[in-house]
Structures are given as structure tokens and as C-alpha cells.
């Protein structure tokens, strides 16, 4: 599988200007204003998450019983929960967890899967066979069910969540990088590299791995939103990062069934935060895919 | 075909063994011993040494680990799922009681995803760049970004605040009381199927747009076929092949999603049972449930592959 590599060409033209990353970003935003806007929105969200202590009007954890169960008002823009905690503050702090988990999981799983896929495709033989069988075993489980099983074993917490979601995401990327590595290793330039005496490690790192960057980038941006939803689902089930840490999933866990008359703002607003964020990631992901693989442009 | 099926089943053996090994190992890497994990450090500390040995023996944890694994495998082969540690009733009975409703919701959600997703995708592709297409694409993107547990929560919220109504509780089989059963299952199925229908609409649209450019579609038009015959007989049939493959893959997210949706709607299915077992730390039940989910998923994918070979005459598995 060969990928028409638009990012690589724009990178090489920009490199002559001395600012490759800026060049790529400028070109991308000009061609894909929606993706650019979504990227900007995501940057804003990340800044808001980092600046949570400054931005959020109240302490997200401190309980104030006298202010409990208030609807949206001038003091509490989107209301308070059953313990009088300001919902807006809790959502802003929740963004920290969602974004951190999502980006960390995607980066960790992508790096591991790239290493595994490139090595598996390039080395081949028994190593490849064993790796593929292990990947098949992981793929045999519905993703969320496997994550639940791993969490049951490891207990709740940030690190277990990161590990569980990373394991689930590895096989898909491994398959893609492996197939690229298998086709690339037959190319004359790889043979040339071997002929001039490059070691296998060097060939894998410098000559094979870079070819997988484009498809991997597409997969990675597309899955940022998926991971946010997965983490929120675990939080909703009460098996994610334990309270009192506010996460978007925790905020929604059990609120509908908690009382006879559920407070609508507790259900609506955290969900809106999730949908808007995932929407931004998905739209950005679609445009990144279009930029990297122009053949697919406009098909969705 | 039979040969292919037999070979696929043979190939599945290492994967099946691998899944059992993975589930078993995952349930044994817990920090501390199993009793402490089940009863809590404090509870386990209160046990006398004799009681401790009795409980370990009851759970089969007194044997060496590889024997435990083999015993468990043999139990699965004999379909003996043991009994719930805390409640004492047989797990098999529990699963027979809870399984049908999960299966029903899953099947209904797949049907919903097809019945909604395929027509929407076809219409969007035929009226490309029309207002209808934009609406379809926008709602597709929106549904893909909406977590099913939130959608479920909104539906429950609407039940209570708008309609002042709650679906009946408990397990009701469709053949016992169809109307009551439908009240319990219809909304979970729609919520679960909504994101799948968005994925299917999206793929149907893009595949159809690709297929209508093919020569054989032009030929069909050239020989004077009506537009509906061209689309349904020639284009759609080929466009739907990847949709079938996708449906198998979607089963994974549907099975995972059903766990969350069952909890959100308070439907007593397998998923809700698994979450309850995880919370109660009934590890042997969790172990068996996770394996059941994996088996169902593998079987669904096998079925999809068979359907694929049956529908597409170009594919011959030898």
C-alpha cells in the first residue's frame, strides 16, 4: 500500500523556508478552514484545561451543602450538583483528565504499535507470526470489555486506565504499520541502504518507519475522540478514575438514577462538553485524512 | 464452503486458547491474593487460617496456577460455569436468565442500524451536495461524536421529566409479554444502534459514490435501465459488500456499548450483570462473562465472513 504523501511534500517545500512545522500548519489551515478552526478550538480547550485553577469560578471538589441542587443562575452559570459543587468548574477540571488520557493513550499506543508493526513486518518469520497471533487475541475481545477486564485486574486509577485503553488500541495501528513495512522493505532504496552496510535497526528507524507516518497520523487523529468516549464510558460505569477527581464520565455516572427527579443540568452539560470536544477532534481528523490521502477527499 | 468453514474453525483454535489464557492471566495479576481482592484486605484479615484454607479450596485457588487454568478450561468445555461466590446460585442459570435480553437488544440495534443507515447513505449519495445530503452528513458526524451512555441518559431524563413514565423493571421474555418486553428493549436498542447507523450511513454513501463511477454502472445505464434498477440491482449490491464487513467489526463496539447502555437504562442483561460482578468483585463470574463476550464476538465475525462469501460470488475460499 502506497500513500500519496501530501504532508511529506509540503514538509520538504517548507523545509527550504526553514520552518517545516509552521509551513505545514499554514498550508493545512488555508486548505481546510474547518479543520483549522477545529484545531484552534482544541488548542483553546487545552489552554482552558491547563488554566483550570484560574478559569474555574469555584473549587471543583469542596462540598457546600447550602448551595446544593441549584439550577443555572448568575452565581453558578450551569448550576450545582447534589453536594453544592459548581458544575462549570467541575467540567473545566474534567477537561484535564479527558484530554490528558486521550492524548497520552494515543501517543503511547501509536509509538508502541509503530515499533511493533515495523519490526514485525520488516523482520517477518516467527517473530511476525507470534506478534500477529497476539494481536488477533486482543482483537477477539470487544474493546470496552477487554478494557473492563484489565481494569478489574489492575484496580481503578489513572495508570490502569492508560494501560487498559492503550492495549485495546495497539492492534489496529500495528496492522497498518506492518502492512506498510512489508511493502516498503522490497523497495530498491531499502536494498540500497542494506548494500551500503546500514544495520537492520537503522534501516527500520530511518528508512521504513518514516513511510508509516502518514497513515499512522490519520489513525491517531481519528482515534483521539474515540479514546475520550471510551474513558468517559469507563467513568460513567464507575470504573474509571475514582472520585473526588471530576471527569466527564464520573459527572454523568448515576445522576439520572440517583433521585426520583433527576436534575437536568447535571445530565445535559457534561454530555455537551464531551460531544463538542469529540466533534472537534473528529472533524480535524477527517481533514487530516484528506490532507494526507487526497484520494479519499470528499467521500465522507 | 464447508471446507472453508472447517479451516476457519481450525484457525480459531489458537485464538480461542489465547483469549482464555489472556482472561485467566488478567484475573490473576491482581496485587495481593484473590481472597483479599474479593473480601477486601480487612475482611480477609479477619479470617482464621482454617477458614481461609476452606475458602481457597472452595474457589479452587489452593491448587497450582497451571492446574487452576486447566480446571477452568475443562469447566468451560463441560459448560459448567460454577456458582456465584456471594449469592450461591449457579452462574449458568443467571446467564440463561440475563442472556436473552442482551441478545435481543443487540440484534434489534443491528437491524435498526441497517434499516436507518443504508437508506440514509443511499439518499445522501444519490442527492450528493443537496440539502438532504448536508443534513444526513451533519447528523452522521453528530451521532458519531455522541457517547451512547449520554444519549441513554437523555432518554431516561425525558422519560422522567417529560413523560413522567418509567419502563417496567425486571426480565420479561418477548414471548411472555411482547408489549412489556418492547417497552424495556426498544429505546436501548435504538440508542445502541444510533452510532452504528451513522457509521453505516457514512460508509454506504462513500461506497456508493465510488461504485457509480464504475464501468458496469455506466453500461447498465446505457442499456436503458431505469435509475432505480441501476442503483438497487447494480450499484448498491456491490456498494454493500464493505458494509457487511463493517457490520462484523461494529459488533465489537455494539457488544461493548451494550454493557454501557444496559447500565444506563438499568436493563438486567449480561452487561449489567458483568458490571455488578466487577463491583462485587465476583471474579470467577467476571472471568466467564468476559470470555462469553469474546466468543460471541468471534462467532459474529465468522458469521459475517461466511455471509460475505455467500453474497459475493467472486470470492472463493479454497
Concatenated DSSP letters of A118-147:
HHHHHH-HHHHHHHHHHHHHHHTS-HHHHH
List C-alpha distances in Å: B318 to A133, A136, B4, B13, B300: 22, 22, 6, 19, 21
- Summarize the confidence of residues A151-171 as an average pLDDT: 90
Return the pLDDT at A14.
Answer: 40
pLDDT over threshold 90, residue B51: no
Structural domains in chain B? 2-77 (no CATH), 91-311 (1.10.3720.10)
- What distance in Å separates the CA atoms of residue A101 and residue A157, rounded to the nearest whole number? 11
Return the pLDDT at A5.
Answer: 47
Instruction: From chain B, pick out residues whose CB is under 8 angstroms from the CB of A150.
Output: 26
- What distance in Å separates the CA atoms of residue B85 and residue B92, rounded to the nearest whole number? 13
- What distance in Å separates the CA atoms of residue B126 and residue B288, rounded to the nearest whole number? 47
The count of CB pairs under 8 A between chains A and B is 155
pLDDT over threshold 70, residue B33: no
Return the pLDDT at A13.
Answer: 42
- What distance in Å separates the CA atoms of residue A173 and residue A155, rounded to the nearest whole number? 26
Per-residue pLDDT tens for A80-118?
887 878 888 889 998 999 999 999 999 999 999 999 999
- What distance in Å separates the CA atoms of residue B300 and residue B294, rounded to the nearest whole number? 10
- Summarize the confidence of residues B130-141 as an average pLDDT: 90
- Summarize the confidence of residues A53-65 as an average pLDDT: 81
CATH number (1.10.10.10, 3.40.50.150, 1.10.3720.10, 1.10.1740.10) of A34-299 reads 1.10.3720.10
- The DSSP letter of residue B161 is I
Instruction: From chain B, pick out residues whose CB is under 8 angstroms from the CB of A134.
Output: 18
Contact A299 B259 (CB under 8 A): no
Interface mutation target, options A143, A151, A237, chain B, most CBs of B under 10 Å? A237
Domain parsing of chain A, residue ranges: 34-299
Return the pLDDT at A294.
Answer: 64
In this structure, what are the phi and psi dihedrals at residue B282, rounded to the nearest 5 degrees?
Answer: -90, 80
Instruction: From chain B, pick out residues whose CB is under 8 angstroms from the CB of A159.
Output: none
pLDDT over threshold 80, residue B300: yes
Query: Between these two residues, B7 and A8, which has the higher pLDDT value?
Result: B7
- Summarize the confidence of residues B294-312 as an average pLDDT: 83
- The CA distance from A139 to the nearest CA of chain B, in Å, is 9
pLDDT over threshold 70, residue A220: yes
pTM above 0.90, yes or no: no
Residue A86: strand, helix, or coil: strand
Residues A269/B167, Cβ–Cβ less than 8 Å: no
- The CA distance from B174 to the nearest CA of chain A, in Å, is 25
Instruction: Give me the helix-helix angle, A264-292 and B131-145, nearest 10°.
Output: 110
Query: Between these two residues, A292 and A130, which has the higher pLDDT value?
Result: A130
Return the pLDDT at A118.
Answer: 94
Contact A145 B256 (CB under 8 A): yes
Residues B54/B261, Cβ–Cβ less than 8 Å: no
- Summarize the confidence of residues B29-33 as an average pLDDT: 62
Least confident of A124-138, A223-237, B38-52: B38-52
pLDDT over threshold 60, residue A1: no
Q: Which three cell numbers stand for residue A153?
A: 485486574
Return the pLDDT at B315.
Answer: 64
pLDDT over threshold 50, residue B2: yes
| pLDDT-above-90 percentage for chain B | 19
Residues B282/B86, Cβ–Cβ less than 8 Å: yes
pLDDT over threshold 80, residue A144: yes
Q: Which three cell numbers stand for residue B186?
A: 426498544
Q: Where are the beta strands (DSSP E) in B163-218?
A: none
pLDDT over threshold 90, residue B57: no
Contact B157 A262 (CB under 8 A): yes
Per-residue pLDDT tens for A248-290?
988 888 777 766 678 888 889 999 999 999 999 999 988 888 8
Instruction: From chain A, pick out residues whose CB is under 8 angstroms from the CB of B286.
Output: 149, 152
- What distance in Å separates the CA atoms of residue A169 and residue A175, rounded to the nearest whole number? 11
Residue length of chain B: 318
Burial of A137 (0-12, 13-18, 19+ CB in 10 A): buried
At residue A189's C-alpha, the angle toward residues A183 and A195, to 5°, is: 115
* CA closest to B257 among chain A residues: A144
Return the pLDDT at A281.
Answer: 92
- The CA distance from A197 to the nearest CA of chain B, in Å, is 39
Contact A237 B263 (CB under 8 A): yes
Instruction: From chain B, pick out residues whose CB is under 8 angstroms from the CB of A229.
Output: 147
Contact A236 B263 (CB under 8 A): yes
Least confident of A9-18, B121-130, B275-284: A9-18
Contact B253 A143 (CB under 8 A): yes
Per-residue pLDDT tens for B144-203?
999 999 999 999 888 888 887 777 777 777 778 888 888 888 999 999 999 899 999 989
pLDDT over threshold 80, residue A44: yes
* CA closest to A299 among chain B residues: B206
Return the pLDDT at A16.
Answer: 45
**C-alpha gyration radius of chain B:** 24
List C-alpha distances in Å: B123 to A198, B31, B119, B133: 55, 55, 6, 7
Instruction: From chain B, pick out residues whose CB is under 8 angstroms from the CB of A152.
Output: 26-27, 278, 283, 286
In this structure, what are the phi and psi dihedrals at residue A195, rounded to the nearest 5 degrees?
Answer: -65, -35
Instruction: Give me the helix-helix angle, A264-292 and B148-158, nearest 10°.
Output: 150
- What distance in Å separates the CA atoms of residue B196 and residue B18, rounded to the nearest whole number? 28
Return the pLDDT at A160.
Answer: 92
Return the pLDDT at A272.
Answer: 93
Burial of A217 (0-12, 13-18, 19+ CB in 10 A): middle
- The CA distance from B259 to the nearest CA of chain A, in Å, is 8
Furthest C-alpha separation in chain A: 77
User: Which pLDDT band, with edges at 50, 70 and 90, does A295 fall under?
Assistant: low
- The CA distance from A30 to the nearest CA of chain B, in Å, is 22
List residues bridging with B90 in a β-sheet.
Answer: B83
pLDDT over threshold 90, residue B55: no
User: Which pLDDT band, with edges at 50, 70 and 90, does B96 fall under?
Assistant: confident
Contact A153 B22 (CB under 8 A): no
Per-residue pLDDT tens for A226-249?
999 999 999 999 888 888 888 998
Instruction: From chain B, pick out residues whose CB is under 8 angstroms from the CB of A282.
Output: 141, 144-145
pLDDT over threshold 80, residue A128: yes
pLDDT over threshold 90, residue B92: no
The average confidence (pLDDT) of chain B is: 83
pLDDT over threshold 90, residue A119: yes
pLDDT over threshold 90, residue B95: no
- Summarize the confidence of residues A212-218 as an average pLDDT: 86
Instruction: From chain B, pick out residues whose CB is under 8 angstroms from the CB of A225.
Output: 145
- Summarize the confidence of residues B214-224 as an average pLDDT: 86
Closest CA to B251 of B208, B308, B293: B293
pLDDT over threshold 70, residue A162: yes
Amino acid at each position: 500500500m502506497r500513500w500519496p504523501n501530501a504532508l511529506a511534500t509540503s514538509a520538504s517545500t517548507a523545509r527550504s523556508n526553514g520552518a517545516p512545522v509552521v509551513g505545514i500548519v499554514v498550508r493545512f489551515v488555508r486548505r481546510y478552514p474547518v479543520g483549522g478552526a477545529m484545531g484552534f478550538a482544541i488548542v483553546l480547550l487545552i489552554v482552558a484545561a491547563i488554566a483550570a485553577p484560574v478559569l474555574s469560578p469555584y473549587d471543583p471538589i469542596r462540598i457546600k451543602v447550602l448551595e446544593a441542587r441549584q439550577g443555572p443562575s448568575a452565581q453558578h452559570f450551569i448550576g450545582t450538583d447534589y453536594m453544592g459543587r459548581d458544575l462549570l468548574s467541575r467540567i473545566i477540571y474534567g477537561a484535564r483528565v479527558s484530554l490528558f488520557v486521550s492524548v497520552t493513550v494515543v501517543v503511547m499506543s501509536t509509538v508502541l504499535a509503530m515499533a511493533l508493526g515495523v519490526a514485525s513486518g520488516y523482520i517477518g518469520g516467527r517473530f511476525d507470526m507470534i506478534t500477529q497471533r497476539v494481536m488477533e487475541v486482543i482483537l477477539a475481545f470487544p474493546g470496552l470489555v477487554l478494557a473492563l477486564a484489565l481494569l478489574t485486574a489492575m484496580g481503578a486509577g489513572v495508570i490502569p486506565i492508560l494501560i487498559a485503553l492503550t492495549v485495546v488500541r495497539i492492534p489496529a495501528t500495528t496492522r497498518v504499520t506492518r502492512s506498510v513495512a512489508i511493502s516498503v522493505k522490497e523497495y530498491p532504496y531499502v536494498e540500497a541502504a542494506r548494500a551500503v552496510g546500514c544495520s537492520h535497526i537503522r534501516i527500520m528507524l530511518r528508512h521504513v518507519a518514516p513511510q508509516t507516518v502518514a497513515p499512522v497520523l490519520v489513525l491517531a487523529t481519528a482515534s483521539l475522540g474515540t479514546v475520550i468516549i471510551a474513558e468517559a464510558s469507563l467513568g460513567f460505569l464507575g470504573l474509571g478514575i475514582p472520585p473526588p477527581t471530576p471527569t466527564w464520565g464520573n459527572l454523568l455516572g448515576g445522576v439520572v438514577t440517583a433521585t426520583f427527579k433527576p436534575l437536568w443540568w447535571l445530565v445535559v452539560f457534561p454530555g455537551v462538553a464531551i460531544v463538542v470536544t469529540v466533534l472537534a477532534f473528529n472533524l480535524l481528523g477527517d481533514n487530516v485524512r484528506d490532507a494526507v490521502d487526497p484520494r479519499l477527499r470528499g467521500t465522507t | 464452503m464447508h471446507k472453508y468453514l472447517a479451516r476457519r474453525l481450525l484457525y480459531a483454535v489458537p485464538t480461542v486458547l489465547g483469549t482464555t489464557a489472556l482472561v485467566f492471566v488478567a484475573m490473576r495479576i491482581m496485587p495481593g491474593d484473590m481472597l483479599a481482592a474479593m473480601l477486601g484486605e480487612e475482611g480477609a484479615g479477619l479470617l482464621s487460617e482454617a477458614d481461609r484454607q476452606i475458602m481457597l479450596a472452595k474457589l479452587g485457588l489452593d491448587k497450582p496456577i497451571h492446574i487452576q487454568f486447566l480446571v477452568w478450561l475443562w469447566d468451560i468445555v463441560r459448560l459448567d460455569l460454577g456458582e456465584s461466590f456471594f449469592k450461591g446460585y449457579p452462574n449458568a442459570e443467571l446467564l440463561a436468565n440475563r442472556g436473552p435480553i442482551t441478545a435481543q437488544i443487540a440484534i434489534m440495534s443491528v437491524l435498526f442500524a441497517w434499516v436507518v443507515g443504508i437508506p440514509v447513505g443511499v439518499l445522501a449519495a444519490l442527492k450528493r451536495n443537496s440539502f438532504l445530503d448536508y443534513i444526513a452528513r451533519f447528523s452522521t458526524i453528530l451521532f458519531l461524536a455522541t457517547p451512547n451512555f449520554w444519549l441513554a441518559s437523555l432518554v431516561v431524563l425525558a422519560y422522567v421529566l417529560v413523560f413522567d413514565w418509567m419502563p417496567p423493571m425486571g426480565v420479561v421474555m418477548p414471548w411472555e409479554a411482547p408489549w412489556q418486553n418492547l417497552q424495556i428493549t426498544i429505546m436501548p436498542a435504538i440508542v445502541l444502534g444510533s452510532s452504528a447507523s451513522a457509521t453505516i450511513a457514512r460508509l454506504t454513501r462513500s461506497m456508493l459514490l465510488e461504485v457509480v463511477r464504475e464501468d458496469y454502472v455506466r453500461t447498465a445505464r446505457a442499456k436503458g435501465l431505469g435509475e432505480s434498477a441501476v442503483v438497487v440491482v447494480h450499484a448498491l449490491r456491490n456498494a454493500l459488500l464493505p458494509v457487511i464487513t463493517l457490520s462484523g467489526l461494529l459488533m465489537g463496539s455494539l457488544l461493548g456499548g451494550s454493557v454501557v447502555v444496559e447500565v444506563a437504562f438499568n436493563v438486567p442483561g449480561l452487561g449489567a450483570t458483568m458490571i455488578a460482578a466487577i463491583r462485587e468483585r465476583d471474579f470467577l463470574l467476571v472471568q466467564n462473562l468476559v470470555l462469553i463476550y469474546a466468543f460471541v464476538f468471534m462467532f459474529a465475525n465468522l458469521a459475517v465472513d461466511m455471509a460475505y462469501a455467500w453474497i459475493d460470488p467472486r470470492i472463493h475460499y479454497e
